[in-house]
Amino acid sequence: MKRVFSGIQPTGHLTLGNYLGAMRRWAEVDQHRADALFCVVDLHALTVEHDPARVRRLSRQAATLLLASGLDPEACTLFVQSHVDEHARLSYLLECVATDGEMRRMIQYKEKAAKEAARGRSVRVSLLTYPVLMAADILAYGTDEVPVGEDQAQHVELARDLAVRFNQRYGSTFTVPRATFPKVAARVMNLQEPTSKMGKSDESGLGVVYLLDETDVVRKKVLRAVTDSGRDVVYDRVERPGVANLLDVLAACTGGDPEVLSGEYDSYGALKKDTAEAVVEVLRPVQERHRELVADPGAVDEVLRAGAERARAMARPTVDAAYRAIGLLPAL
C-alpha cells in the first residue's frame, strides 16, 4: 500500500484554500486508498513571529477541523509534529545535505521574508530552513505521495532532491516522494486580490474565507469578490484571474469543470451568487461536525495521543537508519 503524508500549519484559521487544495482530498480519497499520515505541523508555525498561546490554540483547532472535515482515526494517523521528535532529529541531518543556495531560491521564503521585513520584524533562521524540516516530515515516513496545493510544489521537489542526494552519498535510506495536486482549485486565490494565493496567515479582510466563518460572512465575502473588467464569463486564469478563481471554487464545490461552467453564466452576479451558495453548502457539514467535536476535547486529545504513538513507531527506524548511514556512532 502507498504511504501518504501531508501537513497543515497552525499559523491562522484554516481557509477554503486549505480545504479545497488539500484537506478535502485527504478525507475523501487519500485516507481510503493509502496508508496515510496527516500532521498539524506546529514547529513550522514558529518560523514567523508568533504568540505561544495562539499557536497552541490553533493546533488544537486545526486537529479538530481535520477530524470535522472527515479524517477518520481508524483510517489514517493524525498527529501533532512536535509530539514526534524524529522530525527535528532528521531535519538536522538533512540540513547537512541541503545547501544555502537551495534555501534562498525558495519562493515561499522570499515572499514570507519580505512580509516579515515589511512588518518591521526580523527574519528567523527557521524560516530559511523550513523546507528542510518539511522534507524531514515527509522522508521520515518513507512517503510515496504528498497531497498538497500547488504552492507547495517547490518544497516537495526539494524533499525529492534531498532524498536522492542523501541516498547517493550515504546509501539507500529514503523513499523518493512525489507531490499530487487536486484537479481543480489547486491554488485558490484571495477574493480581493486574485493574483495572490489565499493564505491563512495573510491579513485577512474580505479576501479570505475561513472554514469557521458564519454563513452570512461567507456569502458576503464571495459576493464582494473582485472581478475583472469585461462582462462575459470566460475561464482565463491569466487575463481574468478574479472570474477564473470563482469558477475554480464553484467547480471544486460542485464537482464540475470550470471551463464548462463558464459557458453557463452570462453575468458575474449570477456566478457569484451560485459560488457563494456552493461554498456555504460545502462548509455546512464541516462546521456541524466541528461543533460536535469541540464539545468533546478529550476525544480529540486521545486521537492525537494515539496518532503520535503510531507515527513515532513508523518514523524511528528510518531516522535511526539515516543516523547510521551519515556516520554517527550508534548510542549504546
Could you list the active site residues?
A: 112, 197, 200
Reference 271, options 285, 289, 253; nearest CA is 253
Among 4, 5, 21, 253, binds ligand ATP (CB under 6 A): 21
Contacting range for ligand ATP; rule: CB under 6 A; set: 14-22, 82-90, 242-250, 281-289: 14-22
Q: CB of 19: closest distance to ligand ATP in angstroms?
A: 8
131 CA to centre of own chain: 13
150 annotated ligand binder: yes
Question: Under DSSP, is residue 197 helix (H, G, I), strand (E, B) or coil?
Answer: strand
Interface of this chain with ligand ATP, residues 95 to 154, rule: CB under 6 A: 148-149, 151-152
Q: CB of 281: closest distance to ligand ATP in angstroms?
A: 19
Question: Under DSSP, is residue 63 helix (H, G, I), strand (E, B) or coil?
Answer: helix
What is the bridge-based pairing of β-strands 3-8 and 178-180? unpaired
Residue bearing cell 475554480 = 248
Q: Counting every residue, how long is the chain?
A: 332
Nearer to ligand ATP, 59 or 173 (CB): 59
Q: CB of 141: closest distance to ligand ATP in angstroms?
A: 16
Nearer to ligand ATP, 95 or 202 (CB): 202
Nearer to ligand ATP, 12 or 194 (CB): 12
Contacts of 68 (CB under 8 A, 6+ apart): 286, 287, 289, 290, 293
Nearer to ligand ATP, 158 or 188 (CB): 188
Interface of this chain with ligand ATP, residues 175 to 234, rule: CB under 6 A: 186-188, 197-201
Reference 139, options 83, 93, 170; nearest CA is 93
Nearer to ligand ATP, 119 or 324 (CB): 119
35 annotated ligand binder: no
Q: CB of 44: closest distance to ligand ATP in angstroms?
A: 7
Nearer to ligand ATP, 7 or 307 (CB): 7
Reference 33, options 175, 147, 136; nearest CA is 147
200 annotated ligand binder: yes
Taking each helix axis from N to C end, the angle separating 86-95 and 297-326, rounded to the nearest 10 degrees, works out to 40
- Rounded-to-integer distance, Cα 300 and Cα 139, Å: 26
DSSP result, 203-260: --TTS--BTT--HHHHHHHHHT----SSSS----TTT-HHHHHHHHHHHHHHT--HHH
- Rounded-to-integer distance, Cα 205 and Cα 14, Å: 14
- Rounded-to-integer distance, Cα 143 and Cα 4, Å: 5
Binding mask 145-184 for ligand ATP (x = CB under 6 A): ---xx-xx--------------------------------
8 near ligand ATP, rule: CB under 6 A: yes
CB 26 within 8 A of CB 59: no
115 annotated ligand binder: no
- Rounded-to-integer distance, Cα 265 and Cα 255, Å: 17
Which residue number places its CB atom closest to ligand ATP?
Answer: 21
The residue count for binding ligand ATP (CB under 6 A) is 21
Supply the DSSP symbol for 76: E
Contacting range for ligand ATP; rule: CB under 6 A; set: 12-20, 230-238, 241-249, 274-282: 12-20
- Rounded-to-integer distance, Cα 18 and Cα 283, Å: 12
Q: Applying CB under 6 A, which residues contact ligand ATP? A: 8-9, 11-12, 15, 17-18, 21-22, 148-149, 151-152, 186-188, 197-201
Binding site: what residues are annotated? 9-11, 17-18, 137, 149-151, 188, 197-201
Binding site for L-tryptophan: what residues are annotated? 137
